[in-house]
Amino acid sequence: MHPLDEATLLSASDPAGLRGRTSDAYWNFGGPFGGVTAATLLRSVLDHGERQGDPCSATVNFTAAVARGSFEVDVRAVRTGRSVQHWYAELRQGDVVAANATIICARRNTTWSHQAARPPAAPDPGGITPMATDGRNEFVRQFEFRFVEGALELQPSFDGEPRSARSCLWLNNAVPRSWDFVGLMTFCDLFFGRIYHVKRTLFPIATVSMTAYFHVDGEGLAALGTCPLLGVADANVFHAGIFDQSAQLWSPDGRLLATTTQLVTWRD
Amino acid sequence: MHPLDEATLLSASDPAGLRGRTSDAYWNFGGPFGGVTAATLLRSVLDHGERQGDPCSATVNFTAAVARGSFEVDVRAVRTGRSVQHWYAELRQGDVVAANATIICARRNTTWSHQAARPPAAPDPGGITPMATDGRNEFVRQFEFRFVEGALELQPSFDGEPRSARSCLWLNNAVPRSWDFVGLMTFCDLFFGRIYHVKRTLFPIATVSMTAYFHVDGEGLAALGTCPLLGVADANVFHAGIFDQSAQLWSPDGRLLATTTQLVTWRD
C-alpha cells in the first residue's frame, strides 16, 4: 500500500463513525502534515456509500493540533440536490474537534469548456535537480520538489527586505502514485508557507483554513498516471500575524487541475 | 435602518436558535442575493456573545434554494483556541439546510505587515458613470457599479468566441453605509458571474460555495467610512457545468481588504 493510502486509511468504528491514525511518514513540526489531514477528511466522503459524483470543492479548517495516534471522523451529507451534494465532516480526538471540512461533490454534465487561465512557462522536470530533503521534516521526504522559480532560500534572520512570494515548481510523490482526489487534495497543501520565501527564515506557522477547487473529474485525473504536476504559489497580504496564499496545480500538458487558497497564522 | 442591516437582521428564537427573514430589497432571480445570505451567516457569529476577535475567513456553501420568507440559523463554536476561534453555522428552512458556513475569528497580534499584491490602476470613481440598474434584479439596484474595465456587454447569444473574464470596477452601496464585516462579506459576492462576461449572454447560474479572507480588522474597516471599494474579478476554468471565480476588494488608497473565490454551476 502506498504511504499516502496508509496515512489516509479510515476504518468503520462503532457505532457509526470512522477511525484513522496519524502517520509518522507524513509528520510535520508538531503534528501531521495538513495536506494529509485534509485528504483524510476528503476520503471520508469519497469512501461514503451515498456519495454522488466527484468532489469539486473542499474547505478544511485546522481547528486544533492533531496529536500522534488515533482519531475519529464523523461525516454526514448536509444536503443532496439533483446534481450537487454537500457534506460536513469533523475529525476528533476525544472531545476536541481537530479539523472540520465542508466538501461538495457534483455530477458534472458535459457541455462547453474554456480555460481562461494560462499555464506558466516551465522547462521539463527531467532536467531539474530535486530539492534535497535530507534532514527535513518527515513529510517533505515523501515528495519531490523541482523548483523552476522561487526556490526556498534561507538566511540566518530576516534582513528587512521582503522577497517575492511566488514559486513555480514541479511536484510529485517520492514513491510513484497514480493521481486521484486524495493525491490532488494532499498536493494543494504542498506549497511551503509563502512567508518563508518572503522573509527567508523559518519559524512556526499554522494553516487555519484551506479551500481547494477541483477542475477535473476522476477519469481525467486517473488518465494522468503518475506524472509530476506543475505548481504555482503566491501570496497577497501578510498582516498582523495572518497571511493568505494561493496556488494552482497544472498537468504537464497545460490543464489546470486544481486551484487552492489558504489562510495561515504565524508568530515571530 | 440600512436595507442591508434589515436584510441580515437575526433575532433570538426558541429554544436556542436565531430567526431571520429574506429581504425583497435584495432579491435575485429565484431567491435572495447570495452575498446577503453569506453576510447573514457571518452576522450570526458577529452577534454571538462568545465571539473572540474579528473574522478572518468565511466559507459559505449554498446548499439549497432559499425560499421567500423566514429561516432559522443555528451557530456554534466548534473550537476556541488561544487566538483563533472556529464557528459552524447552518441556515435552515423547515428540514432543509439551505446554506452552511465555517467562519474563523482571530485575535490578531501587531507585528510585521507586508502587502505583496499591487492594486490595479484605476481612475477616480467620480468620473465614471454608474452602470444603469433599472429593470435589473432587485439586489442589483442596492449597489453602484462603476466599471473601469470589463463591463457587462451582452449579445443575443454566445458567438463562440470566449471574451476576457476579467473586470475592474468601483463598487458601493446605493444607500451609503459605513464599512464593516457584514458589508465586506456581501461585496465579496457582488461580482457578476464571470461566465456572463466570457459568453456575453445571461442564463441561470448558482454559486455552490464561496470563501472570503479578510485582511483588515474592524477598526481599519470602520475608518474607511462609506467610500467606494475597487474590485477586480477573474476566472480560471469553465468546465462541464462548473466554473471558478476569484476577486479582490481594495480600498481607494490601495490596501487589499479582502480576497475571495467561489465555485459556480451553470446550465446552458
Domain assignment of residue A112, yes or no: no
Domain assignment of residue B237, yes or no: yes
A244 contacts B237? CB cut-off 8 A: no
A185-216 pLDDT, tens digit per residue, is 999 999 999 999 999 999 989 999 999 999 99
Does B109 reach chain A within 8 Å, measured CB to CB? yes
> DSSP H helical segments within chain B, as ranges?
3-7, 34-46, 181-188, 194-199, 218-222
pLDDT at residue A109 in the model = 79
Domain assignment of residue A115, yes or no: no
Closest partner residue to B114 (CB to CB) among A79, A162, A241 is A162
Domain assignment of residue A118, yes or no: no
Residues of B in contact with A111 (CB under 8 A): 240-241, 268
Q: Is the model's pLDDT at B183 over the cut of 90?
A: yes
pLDDT at residue B16 in the model = 66
pLDDT at residue A111 in the model = 82
A56 contacts B242? CB cut-off 8 A: yes
Domain assignment of residue B208, yes or no: yes
Task: Determine which of A13-17, B24-28, B85-89, B241-245 has the lowest per-residue pLDDT on average.
Answer: A13-17
Cell numbers found for residue B181: 464585516
Residue type, B25: A
B109 contacts A240? CB cut-off 8 A: yes
Banded model confidence at residue A268, pLDDT cuts 50, 70, 90: confident
B238 contacts A113? CB cut-off 8 A: yes
Structural domain count of chain A: 1
Least Cα separation, residue B126 to chain A (angstroms):
28
Domain assignment of residue A119, yes or no: no
Domain that holds residue B252: 3-107+123-266
What's the average model confidence in pLDDT over A91-103?
Answer: 97
Which CATH number goes with the domain that contains A256? 2.40.160.210
Q: Is the model's pLDDT at A15 over the cut of 80?
A: no
ipTM > 0.90?
A: yes
Task: Determine which of A24-33, A102-111, A187-196, B164-173 has the lowest per-residue pLDDT on average.
Answer: A102-111
B215 contacts A244? CB cut-off 8 A: yes
pLDDT at residue A14 in the model = 65
Domain assignment of residue A157, yes or no: yes
Does B118 reach chain A within 8 Å, measured CB to CB? no
Banded model confidence at residue B24, pLDDT cuts 50, 70, 90: very high
Banded model confidence at residue B219, pLDDT cuts 50, 70, 90: very high
